[in-house]
């Protein structure tokens, strides 16, 4: 019986190039031109143009007529929304987020860990005038976010050393910029079962997060509260907000089969 081929042998190069092109539009990249895409992908401009034309015809890419640059089309958004809706985590999380916000009137998120970043999937916002800008869809560094630290705290020392650099980028004076300092913080997160972001990513913004587990006891996400430090005082975080977040995460974990 002939040996089964590795899946890499079935890759269609043109499809791979098209996906590479789509992946260039991430984070703060809104639009790109043919020349820039050609450089990034190391493909001839004619090939890039053909890829763009194909993707544009299907709605995955659209052209800004004013700049003649290209950006993601509505079909890309539709796929992303379909993925989110199909996730059991999100289907179950909405009610929990709404209840959490009802209890404290602060902005609540559900987030997952992906490739050393936290990705915020859904939000229920406070109706307070002063609030944190919604982060849904954002990929933020895990080591300076409460939701990210919830995930990192459950990794081994070897995994942490592999994922993180010894000198971490400092976003504010409160950011952990050494692996030793971060590990000390993560030990505390592991012991207490929740994490804080004390203005470590954005000045004036504090967050609390607790882990969401499924029926396998694996951490599949985090619930977090985020708000301005003037409302997230030490006393309020300790006495009111942290217990609410921990309870919300436990409730959602139970809905996902965790015992």
Q: Cβ neighbours of residue 161 under 8 Å, at least 6 residues apart?
A: 179
What angle do helix axes 34-41 and 45-57 make, rounded to 10 degrees? 110
Query: Looking at residues 191-210, what average pLDDT do you find?
Result: 95
204 pLDDT higher than 90: yes
Please state the pTM of the whole predicted model: 0.69
Torsion sign, CA atoms 149, 150, 154, 159: negative
* CATH topology classification for 7-78: Arc Repressor Mutant, subunit A (1.10.10)
4 pLDDT higher than 70: no
How many CB atoms are located within 10 Å of the residue 40 CB?
15
138 pLDDT higher than 70: yes
Q: Which band of pLDDT confidence, cut at 50, 70 and 90, is reported for residue 133?
A: confident
Q: Indicate the domain borders of the chain.
A: 7-78, 87-255
Query: Looking at residues 128-139, what average pLDDT do you find?
Result: 78
Kindly report, residue by residue over 145-192, the tens digit of the pLDDT. 999 999 999 988 888 888 887 778 999 999 999 888 999 999 999 999
Q: What percent of the chain has pLDDT over 70?
A: 94
Kindly report, residue by residue over 46-85, the tens digit of the pLDDT. 999 999 999 999 999 999 988 999 999 988 888 877 766 6
Arch. (CATH architecture) of 87-255: 2-Layer Sandwich (3.30)
């Amino acid at each position: 019986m002939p040996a089964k081929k590795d899946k890499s042998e079935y890759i269609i190069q043109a499809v791979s190039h098209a996906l590479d092109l789509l992946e260039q539009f991430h984070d703060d990249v809104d639009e790109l031109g043919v020349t820039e895409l050609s450089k990034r992908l190391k493909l001839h401009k004619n090939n890039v143009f053909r890829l763009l034309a194909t993707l544009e015809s299907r709605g995955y890419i659209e052209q800004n007529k004013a700049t003649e640059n290209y950006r993601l089309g509505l079909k890309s958004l539709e796929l992303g929304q379909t993925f989110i809706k199909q996730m059991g985590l999100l289907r179950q999380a909405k009610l929990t987020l709404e209840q959490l916000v009802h209890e404290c009137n602060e902005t609540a998120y559900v987030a997952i860990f992906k490739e050393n970043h936290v990705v915020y999937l859904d939000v229920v916002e406070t109706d307070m005038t002063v609030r944190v800008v919604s982060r849904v869809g954002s990929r933020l560094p895990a080591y300076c976010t409460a939701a990210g630290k919830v995930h990192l705290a459950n990794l081994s020392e070897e995994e942490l050393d592999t994922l993180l650099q010894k000198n971490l980028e400092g976003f504010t004076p409160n950011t952990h910029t050494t692996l030793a300092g971060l590990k000390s913080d993560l030990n505390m997160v592991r012991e207490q079962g929740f994490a804080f972001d004390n203005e470590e990513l954005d000045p004036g913004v504090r967050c609390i997060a607790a882990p969401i587990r499924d029926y396998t006891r694996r951490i599949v996400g985090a619930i977090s509260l985020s708000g301005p430090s003037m409302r997230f005082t030490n006393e309020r975080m300790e006495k009111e907000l942290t217990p609410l977040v921990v309870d919300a995460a436990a409730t959602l974990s139970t809905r996902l089969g965790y015992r």
